[in-house]
Amino acid sequence: MKLNIDGLLVYFPYDYIYPEQYSYMLELKRTLDARGHGVLEMPSGTGKTISLLSLIVAYQKAFPLEVTKLIYCSRTVPEIEKVVEELRKLMEFYSKQTGESNNFLALALSSRKNLCVHPEVSSLRFGKEVDGKCHSLTASYIRAQRHSDPNMPVCRFYEEFDAVGRQVPLPAGIYNLDDLKDFGRRKGWCPYYLARYSILHANIVVYSYHYLLDPKIADLVSKELAKNSVVVFDEAHNIDNVCIDSMSVNITRRTLDRCQTNVDTLQNTIQKIKETDAAKLKEEYRRLVEGLKEANVARETDIYLSNPVLPDEILKEAVPGTIRTAEHFVGFLRRFMEYLKSRLRVQHVVQESTPQFLKDIFDKVCIDRKPLRFCAERLQSLLRTLEIADIADFSAVTLISNFATLVSTYSQGFTIIIEPFEDRTPTIANPVLHFSCMDPSIAIKPVFQRFQSVVITSGTLSPLDIYPKILDFRPVTMASFTMTLARTCLCPLIVGRGNDQVALSSKFETREDFAVIRNYGNLLLEMSAIVPDGIVAFFTSYVYMENIVASWYEQGILENIQRNKLIFIETPDAAETSMALEKYQEACENGRGAILLSVARGKVSEGIDFVHHFGRAVIMFGVPYVYTQSRILKARLEYLRDQFQIRENDFLTFDAMRHAAQCVGRAIRGKTDYGLMIFADKRYARADKRGKLPRWIQEHINDGSLNLTVDEAIQLSKHFLRQMAQPFRQEDQLGLSLLTLEQLESEEMLQKISQIAHQT
Amino acid sequence: MDEEPERAKRWEGGYERTWEVLKEDESGSLKATVEEILFQSKRKRVIESHGQVRLGMVSVSMEDHDLKPNRLTSTLKVDSAAQPSRCTPVGIITTKNKRAEKLTDLAGNPKKHIAALKKAVDTVCVGEPSLYNSLNLAIQTLKHMPGHTSREILIILSSLTTCDPANIYELIKTLKSLKVRVSVIGLSAEVRVCTVLTRETGGSYHVILDECHFKELLMLHVKPPPASSSSECSLIRMGFPQHTVASPTDQDAKPSFSMAHLDSSSGPGLSLGGYFCPQCHAKYTELPVECKVCGLTLVLAPHLARSFHHLFPLQAFIEGPVEELQEDRFCQACQGELKDKSIFTCPTCRGVFCVECDLFIHDSLHCCPCCIHSQSAP
């Protein structure tokens, strides 16, 4: 259908539209009009993706000069594929409606592992191996060597692409990963490099967060994307953690050992080259004296996305003399490594700021701040000069040099923690140096600065105002949308007491309490008897789950549960978990019924949807607070308090509630779906917890279901499940939660729609 | 049945929030929606009731734990209430403890089933039921039925789990190829495998809200399904025996055994009168039955008449808005004022009826009173 969104003609590829989608598009349009950033929360399963795509594509068509590109960032490969499929539908609708052929180029980009078509390289199992092998076939000096020695192995796909691929742009169309591969095979071009090259002129790019947030990758891939692009981060509730992870470095003894071998190899190669080809090293030296001027020019003309690892000041200066020659630099690395080794020989926990660390390193091994800052750049230059084929082997030394650059660049927002052992195994020495980023805004800042509109969206972003604070940006729109429903298909219940009136809680003091564990077991047992097919239960941590399950086993509760349903358990092992998941789904499918015990913040809670019968109920045992004794977390909380005036408790609750909302949100993946959401902890009833749940869940929690006993919850659930099992057809939704064009345009409906968005 | 199925007693109902029923429905309008849907399904049943006599089979699956103690009892009560109105062979299978057992064989006589079900009230249900086993058993029985019959399985499932020895989806394929229609009434919640089962075999799937709704759903299955075009037609020989009772004064009359009781140990043994097969003069005390001696189907005229209603059902009445009606708004049947927003018109005589009368006419009368009236009038 064709919609009129605030004066903009939007083609929407479906015959019906949800009211909240309309409202969402209105808000999005406002964001784009203002050329600002937006934070939008809309429940999952209400068609967020297609609303985003339809509006932004329409905007691109209407104002081709103002918005040239849409950069859509998602988390996983399946999600990326889903986005491309929606886009394909949209484009088909466009060409059907307008009658003209489509001149849009949209493509997905993923790692080499997912795109490689080279018969040998693509059969490798790990992403790193593929990258390394690919590099060893396609690096420029390898190819240069091939001119003299035609027997060198080479990737014919890359050669072909390099020879002709750049002259002809990729024909307009929608390409998912498989389409790219097919195209690549047909033409004999490397799909990965083709995609990387094509994103520069594509209208829509769909790829993973890391291509934009991780400075190491962003520098390679996203540097030259146009300034007037719209960036969308989907499923962005964890974006701060992604930012932090991309800037943090952990160094263990193993890293240093591997680094040692790397440095030795470097040394040997330098020796060899010196004997054979001394001119090459001279050439490099000359280049370094000239400085990184070229890069600086490029950045000033605003072609590049700035790289937070490589701050502007570095570019203006030449590489300092102490590390300019190759031998000196290797010696410098050795000294730095020895210093780190000595630091790891600690018996107690050390925490210090970056200036303290720099001072210490200067006192002990006389390393100045300045050469440290050039470490990463210098290493890259050296690796290029030495023509080392397999970069993958040098990850350790790259890591160390990145660390050196970061530690000397940022005096704020980072902390260094050296722990001699893990908390859980205090007797085994396993020293780790955590260089931890505490300020997610550092990694994301270039994105906000460079692109005109950045939209952060997810099903669970509540409370909205905290994201602009911790990411340090100013949104022009912040809105939370509710789900309009023809029937109340979600049933959140807060179970605060057992049948014996014992307060249920996972808080530390009552964690070992026998009565609480028994009552939790009782709750699961009784739910297993009344909920059909699948139940997913979330615990706060693996340790807690182990304790409880062991205790249930002793009390015979597990045996009783197994009479009703089979039990599957998530473990930290990915292979085991995916096996359990597969069997769980099979059990749900053939009517036996199953329970999946898993952990909030685990793999299951983040990426896996439990549609329809795969998740008729989600039980959240306890409030999933992050492990508060961790020093990294403590440092981060302190930083948040000092820098952003966010109280520790507020942040912890926020973090716990967003994970809880993520977990229970797994059950409802659309309007025809239904599911129970059971919060088994009396603390959920408190306003400060409840108020942080997304609005679409919050509005279905009525005062009566705040502090239920197990019995009462069972009774309510039974009733709910029977109501939901009554036949439900599309006609029942029409006019209420599903609109045709005429219904949408009625005065009364527009009135209603204006209430859906909740501005903050 | 003498006892009226009523809503469960307050104290048996468990924790309920009666005040929430009274909630105004501007926010979610859930109640209204559900009622609306129910109304529509009520209507649907009338529309679809044309077809032929079917052959049915009830498989009752119960489990004891977690259920209200009276759920089994109430099921059986409702169940037996539904049986007599069916004039087709029915068999009952129960499943418990991972096994399926035949409670009664396929037979047209309802009394035996009711007796068996009454006995079953006392059985304890233990262990998981097995959908696979009971379906398999049902297939064994239904497989040999002639082509003109429609084969149907009705499952009343209280459990939410099933313990199967093999992949049930294979069995569903077999059912589909044998053209067996499987319908399910769930007593607790919607189970995925039943949804697939019913969708694949063309049956219906319902979940009860309360006892009233349960009865309503069960009654829905009493009516035969629409005839499938693939079923064959064939002639069946039938006998219409007269009930003869020898007068007690007759000295020659001797009490004799009914043939039907030969194989069952229970029941009354000797009786004076009975139905005598017109072909071989075997005696039966109850009809309908298949003659044990010569294999003739013995029925009474009313039985056939009842089947006739199903074979040639009354056409569904046309639904229309009440505003269309120009004359006085009174139901032709009950003479009550038409208050609902829709009315129902007989396509033959244009008589106007209210919802309740429409249901009554189609469920019980099987003929339009106005049509009859106009016929009898000269």
- DSSP notation for A88-124: HHHHHHHHHHH-SPP--EEEE---HHHH---TTGGG-
Tokens of B38: 């129910």
Locus of tokens 């028994």: A518
Q: Taking CB atoms and an 8 Å limit, are B192 and A612 in contact across chains?
A: yes
Of A586, A585, A624, nearest to A602 by C-alpha is A624
**pLDDT 10s digits, A158-215:** 888 888 877 878 888 899 999 999 998 888 888 888 888 888 888 999 998 888 888 7
| Residue A77 sits at the chain B interface (C-beta within 8 Å) | no
Residue A362, classed as helix, strand or coil, is: helix
- Rg over CA atoms, chain A: 28
CB A509 within 8 A of CB A590: no
**Residue A529 with chain B: CB contacts under 8 Å:** 65-66, 160
**pLDDT 10s digits, A37-72:** 999 998 887 888 999 999 999 999 898 888 889 999
CA dihedral B104, B107, B110, B111 (to 10 degrees): -60
Nearest-CA distance from B173 to chain A in Å? 14
**Residue A526 with chain B: CB contacts under 8 Å:** 66
Over range A562-590, report the average pLDDT.
Answer: 90
For residue B7, the model assigns a pLDDT of 44
- Closest chain B residue to the Cα of A564, Cα to Cα: B161
**pLDDT 10s digits, A109-127:** 988 888 888 888 888 878 7
**One-letter amino acid for residue A721 of the chain:** L
**pLDDT 10s digits, A668-679:** 888 888 999 999
CA distance A272 to A274: 5
Confidence check: pLDDT of A136 > 60? yes
For residue B164, the model assigns a pLDDT of 80
Q: Taking CB atoms and an 8 Å limit, are B194 and A591 in contact across chains?
A: yes
**Residue B14 with chain A: CB contacts under 8 Å:** 715
Locus of tokens 């000096």: A141
Confidence class of residue A559 from pLDDT cuts 50, 70 and 90?
A: very high
Beta-strand ranges (E) seen in A444-522 are 453-458, 475-481, 490-497
3-state helix, strand, coil in chain B (%, to 5): 35, 20, 45
- Rg over CA atoms, chain B: 23
CA distance A579 to B251: 82
**In chain B, residues 174-233 whose CB comes closer than 8 Å to chain A:** 186, 188-195, 206-209
For residue A55, the model assigns a pLDDT of 93
Per-residue pLDDT of chain B (378 residues; tens, 9 = 90+): 333 334 444 554 445 444 444 334 333 334 433 444 444 443 333 333 222 233 333 333 343 333 333 444 444 444 444 443 444 566 677 776 677 777 766 666 666 767 776 676 666 666 677 788 888 887 877 777 666 666 777 777 777 888 788 888 888 888 888 877 788 888 778 888 888 888 888 888 888 887 777 777 777 776 655 544 445 566 777 788 877 776 666 666 677 777 666 655 555 567 777 788 888 888 777 777 777 778 787 777 777 776 666 666 677 788 777 777 666 677 877 887 777 777 788 887 878 888 888 888 877 777 788 877 776 544
For residue A683, the model assigns a pLDDT of 92
Q: Taking CB atoms and an 8 Å limit, are A592 and B14 in contact across chains?
A: no
For residue B87, the model assigns a pLDDT of 45
Q: Taking CB atoms and an 8 Å limit, are B192 and A732 in contact across chains?
A: no
For residue B262, the model assigns a pLDDT of 61
For residue A454, the model assigns a pLDDT of 92
**Residue A712 with chain B: CB contacts under 8 Å:** 15
| Residue B65 sits at the chain A interface (C-beta within 8 Å) | yes
ipTM: 0.78
Interface probe with B: pick from A490, A590, A729, most Cβ of B within 10 Å: A590
CA distance A332 to A405: 13
Nearest-CA distance from B356 to chain A in Å? 22
Interface probe with B: pick from A703, A723, A733, most Cβ of B within 10 Å: A723
CA distance A527 to A537: 11
**One-letter amino acid for residue A681 of the chain:** D
Confidence class of residue A75 from pLDDT cuts 50, 70 and 90?
A: confident
**pLDDT 10s digits, A434-492:** 999 988 888 888 889 888 899 999 888 888 888 998 898 999 999 988 888 888 888 99
Confidence class of residue A529 from pLDDT cuts 50, 70 and 90?
A: confident
A498 phi, psi to nearest 5 deg: -85, 180
| Residue A533 sits at the chain B interface (C-beta within 8 Å) | yes
Of A461, A526, A559, A512, nearest to A678 by C-alpha is A526
Task: Kindly report which listed range (A302-311, A587-596, A653-662, A709-718) carries the lowest average pLDDT score.
Answer: A302-311
CA dist list (Å): A525 to A422, A519, B211: 36, 10, 26
CA distance A517 to A357: 46
| Residue B22 sits at the chain A interface (C-beta within 8 Å) | no
CA distance A305 to A219: 8
CA distance A180 to A191: 6
Beta strands A69-74 and A204-208, pairing class: parallel
Tokens of A646: 């966010």
**Residue B30 with chain A: CB contacts under 8 Å:** 487-488, 723
Q: Taking CB atoms and an 8 Å limit, are B37 and A564 in contact across chains?
A: no
| Residue B135 sits at the chain A interface (C-beta within 8 Å) | no
In sequence order, what DSSP letters do the residues of A210-253 get, joined into one string? Answer: HHHHSHHHHHHHTTT--TTEEEEESSGGGHHHHHHHHH-EEEEH
Nearest by CB to residue A613, choosing from B188, B192, B208, is B192
Is the bond preceding residue B288 a cis peptide, omega within 30 degrees?
Answer: yes
Nearest by CB to residue A591, choosing from B41, B65, B161, is B161
CB within 8 A of B365, min separation 6: which ones? B314
**Residue B65 with chain A: CB contacts under 8 Å:** 529, 563
**In chain A, residues 483-522 whose CB comes closer than 8 Å to chain B:** 485-488
Confidence check: pLDDT of A595 > 90? yes
Q: Taking CB atoms and an 8 Å limit, are B207 and A589 in contact across chains?
A: no
For residue A286, the model assigns a pLDDT of 75
Locus of tokens 């300092």: A320
